[in-house]
Amino acid sequence: MSRNQPFPPDPHLDATTYFERNHINQILESIVTGLTFTRPDDPLAYIEDCVHRIRLGDLPGGKAKLKWDIFIPSSTSTSTQRKELPGRQPEQRKSKAVVPPLRKKPPAPHTLPPMQQQFSPVVSGPGILLDVSSKPLLRRNDSGARDTDARPIKSATKRVEERSLEPESPQSPLPSGTEPMTTQSRPATRTLGGPTPLPPIKAANIADVPTLDQQVPVQSVSTSSAPEPVQVKESGEEITQTLAVPERKQVLGKAWDNIVFVLGGPGCGKGTQCAQIAKDFNYTHLSAGDLLRAEVATGSDLGRELDLMMREGRIVPMHVTVRLLREAMERAEASEGFLIDGFPRQLDQATAFEEEIRPCKFVLYFECSEEQLEKRLLKRGETSGRADDNIETIKKRFRTFIETSLPVIQDFERKGKCIKISSEPPVDEVYNTVRKHFEEPLPLNHPNVVFVLGGPGSGKGTQCVRLAEEFGLTHLSTGDLLRAEIGKASAIGREVEGIMKEGKMVPMRVIMQLLRSAMEGKGLDTHGFLIDGFPRAMSQAHEFEKSIGPCRKVLFFNCSLPVLEQRLLERGKTSGRVDDNLETIRKRFQTFQDESVEVINWFKAKGKVIEISSERAIDEVYQEARKVFILPEPLNHPNVVFILGGPGSGKGTQCSRLANDYQLKHISTGDLLRNEVAKGSEIGQFVQKIMIEGGMVPMNVMMGLLVQEIEENFEAKGFLIGE
């Protein structure tokens, strides 16, 4: 079956690429920040000087990297100046500078024409779907073959370092507000005898609300004059020590969702690697060993007992280590994540930490032979002054690691959360391997991602197969991706299989990883993606847009419960699927109602949902679904004249006289919009909201009204189109 041609690229996306490639945002931010703090008498001369210094690379203080605060006078500290900004609270701390990860360039996708946008379709003639709510993806030529002259949209190659002038204290509340405006649509046109697509037109639209990390307040821990002691035991020994915590309120930032355990035998170099990761990726490095040694250095009773245990190479009681780690995490400044070095060393420590604090994101395990470890530690002992850097203690520590820590590594490996790296090569070589696991890739931002939703048995899978075949799209099902990983017995597959056996939900991290990998694997070989049965919850919708990119549209195949039950029970006679029974069908439908309907309503508010009844015959449903991906032909009326002029120029008066004398049709776009508002139609309500907010009416709305008006008056000798 022949396929269709993609539309030319969207200049708005090309402009975005241009800004990111040339670091425009970073340059402007640094200059504006300098103006904010210096307030020069001649701002233009100041800006010229800044641009000149950036061009020559002659940055203040001899710095080589352009940052947001590069033009703040060195005589004034950032923290002092920031306190003078409006709304800045004196007690707030300044966050550490964020060093952005290196990112990979995503493959440049083919660009399809704009899809449907918002509101119900306007039927304007036989077989013509003029849509204010929908814009097609593709167009067909006379031969039915797909054209091949479309240019792919370029994706951003890297993200420049960004820094906000807003307060950065972790106690600052997250902002809330209305959705920003964006550009996203092009006109639908129809031509007679071979369509020629119009160039894309920049237009305003409602963008999605940015996904923000949630910040959860932690209850303050109060200390009385006589705090209750903490008791921990191991092998009959009792350690009693008061760990006082100052009274305070703490806010958990994004770092608490990015906890990485770093394990390896003594002397494997994990501390060295952690220090470099912390520096390059703005992670907080916490060493369980350092925390324990710091406690020993206090000379407390607990410190003396810990000192004895560490000299003998024994494991420190779990609750002591977990509590010291929690306190250190709560004291830490805002960062991207935590590297917890040398912990957990036993399975019960891992369990306690993940139950009492947070689950880790993954485990970084440095492999190294015992011979190499001994050699390194004895060399270190010559200068370290550490009591445990002697051959006898080294051998004890290695045996302890094998006996206790290795089962921890094996357990996380079974869960698919362990990354093994050999630490025997040179330090720099090891780090080049390590850093790849911390480099967060840019969102793919493929311009043609379509979510396909519907209740169980609605027929969405059947429709996806046919749409993918005709229009050169890739059909992805999260269920199929998960089953494929289980079948391959991969690390992810083993993790998913264990989770599913326990009846738990597959982590979002795993689903996003599989979806991204599948999309990257197709590269330029597809015009777009149909993602079947996803997202099923709001959290998935937000995470997809954050880590992969926004969807173009949502196809919702609507079907009533009685029809779904009848279909699935019939399918169950031959499918062999255990979930095709009446009880499970009703549970699945209820789950869909409870979770997915919220997602559909959320996308409806953004004008992205195309709802199609799937209760009819399969072919009838498909004929309606495919219209979404077909570009109508332009009207091609021979006499269309645009009338332009400034306000008060008299163009309206002249148009009225010309229309009367020459039997022309005068169309005012302003009048069209006002008429819709006066009628109180769905389009009118949307337009009124946009106007009240001072925004631009989306181009697809304007084009839909214009096309409808021209078609209804196509017999006119010509059209005068003005504001």
Summarize pLDDT for 71-106 with one digit per residue, the tens: 887 655 443 343 333 333 444 444 434 444 433 444
- The neighbouring-strand residues paired with 218 are 250
Q: Which amino acid is at 104?
A: K
Whether residues 469 and 552 fall in one domain: yes
Q: What is the pLDDT of residue 387?
A: 64
The answer to whether residue 218 scores a pLDDT higher than 80 is: no
CB 318 within 8 A of CB 352: yes
Q: What is the pLDDT of residue 373?
A: 85
Statement: the pTM of the whole predicted model exceeds 0.85? no
d(CA 488, CA 485): 5
Cα distances (angstroms) measured from residue 511 to each of 210, 485, 530, 537: 21, 11, 16, 13
Summarize pLDDT for 620-648 with one digit per residue, the tens: 999 999 988 887 788 889 999 999 988 88
Residue 631: closest CA among 109, 203, 151, 197: 197
Whether residues 264 and 408 fall in one domain: yes
> What sign does the dihedral 565-569-575-578 (CA atoms) show?
positive
Whether residues 429 and 465 fall in one domain: no
Q: How confident is the model at residue 579 (pLDDT cuts 50, 70, 90)?
A: low
Is residue 198 domain-resident? no
Residue that is written with structure tokens 């921990």 in the block: 232
The strand ranges marked E within 249-295 are: 250-252, 259-264, 283-287
Q: In terms of residue numbers, what domain contains 490?
A: 121-159+444-629
Torsion of CA 306, 312, 318, 323, to 10 degrees: 30
Summarize pLDDT for 661-700 with one digit per residue, the tens: 999 999 998 899 999 899 888 788 878 888 887 878 877 7
Comparing 175-179, 344-348, 436-440, 457-461, which segment has the lowest mean pLDDT? 175-179
The alpha-carbon radius of gyration of the chain (Å, integer) is 31
- 128-131 and 337-341: which strand pairing? unpaired
> How long a stretch of residues is the chain?
723
More confident residue, 324 or 217: 324
Domain count of the fold of the chain: 4
The answer to whether residue 704 scores a pLDDT higher than 50 is: yes
Is residue 195 domain-resident? no
CB 63 within 8 A of CB 70: yes
Q: Which amino acid is at 405?
A: S
Whether residues 338 and 479 fall in one domain: no
Is residue 196 domain-resident? no
More confident residue, 219 or 4: 4
Comparing 12-21, 320-329, 466-475, which segment has the lowest mean pLDDT? 12-21
Summarize pLDDT for 592-602 with one digit per residue, the tens: 888 788 899 88
More confident residue, 229 or 523: 523
Whether residues 274 and 379 fall in one domain: yes
d(CA 204, CA 689): 14
Is residue 210 domain-resident? no
Q: 460 phi and psi, to 5 degrees?
A: -65, -35
Please state, for a pLDDT cut of 70, what percent of the chain lies above it: 71
Is residue 234 domain-resident? no
Q: Which of 31, 54, 83 corresponds to the end of one domain?
A: 83
Comparing 23-37, 63-77, 511-525, which segment has the lowest mean pLDDT? 63-77
For 177, the token pair is 């507000």
The answer to whether residue 501 scores a pLDDT higher than 90 is: no
Whether residues 293 and 414 fall in one domain: yes
d(CA 298, CA 276): 28
Q: What is the pLDDT of residue 235?
A: 37
Is residue 667 domain-resident? yes
* Identity of the highest mean pLDDT range in 144-148, 309-313, 647-651, 695-699: 647-651
Q: What is the pLDDT of residue 687?
A: 83
The 10 Å Cβ neighbour count of residue 351 is 14
Whether residues 644 and 620 fall in one domain: no
Whether residues 619 and 678 fall in one domain: no
Q: Which of 608, 629, 650 corresponds to the end of one domain?
A: 629
Whether residues 479 and 531 fall in one domain: yes
Torsion of CA 337, 343, 349, 350, to 10 degrees: 50
Whether residues 418 and 306 fall in one domain: yes
Is residue 221 domain-resident? no
Average of per-residue pLDDT across 134-143:
41
Q: What is the CATH number of the domain that holds 347?
A: 3.40.50.300
For 296, the token pair is 């020993």
Q: Which of 37, 66, 83 corresponds to the end of one domain?
A: 83
Q: What is the pLDDT of residue 74?
A: 65
The answer to whether residue 291 scores a pLDDT higher than 50 is: yes
Summarize pLDDT for 104-138 with one digit per residue, the tens: 444 444 445 444 444 433 333 333 333 333 444 44
Mean pLDDT of the chain: 74
